[in-house]
Amino acid sequence: MTYQGTQRELHSGTGVLRYHEAGDGPPLLLLHGSGIGVSGWRNYRANLGVFADRFHCYALEFPGFGISDPVPGNPVTAAVDSVGRLMDALDLESACVIGNSLGAVVASQVAMARPERVRRLVAVGGIGASLLSPDPSEGTRLLRRFADDPTREHLVHWLECMIHDPALLTRELIEERWASAATPAARASIEAMYGSEAIAQRQRAISGARPYWSRLPTLTCPTLLAWGANDRQCPLDMALIAQRLVPRAELHVFPQCGHWVMYEAKEAFERVALEFLCR
């Protein structure tokens, strides 16, 4: 089932936040990843009906990705702030959260800063740090190439890196992402996160500061790490640090699956995530 007509708007002094709302039950936030032409709707539209059968779902559109109004500053910081803005405006004292990639990082930041706000977390890739794989990863290097030179060919190369089964990379998916990536806000967000200078600054900051993953022992909510065995954006060895450091973490690895677990392993992911969330 695919929900339509679910988009809502939240007006505030820092711009309009948009989100999709569906279902009834305990609150569940769905937080999308970064990347080219991404949005909350594109990440979760195929899963929303399943989760809305058990939860009151809110699929947030982070600022600066072409749907919600952009705000100044770092896109990750803006995304973390947007979760608090949404929860405060909707009077959500706490919620379960599913976060993909950037969404997982954002959810973990919220949960570490405000443990009472996140009941359970499903992290689809994203959190942790590489032990054996190159850093930046293959996927991040392809994002950097697109940010520096935004061509359709570079988009396709990155999309090929996101999934294990090339049959899932349809012309419709490519054209949808290409059209969305052309918006000024989306281009600015990609450059701010993945341009050569942005990545260089991040690497310099990491070398002189405490990395965020070192604080993962303070992520105390029950956490499911959902990982594709063939993830080339966030390689599987990243999950080992998260599983070791997060006190209540468990890891489920989906075979023959890339970074977009909720898309490529849809039914299996929904089954595993619902079992975890409904305990």
- Catalytic residue positions, numbered: 259
Q: Tell me the C-alpha distance between 226 and 63, whole Å.
A: 25
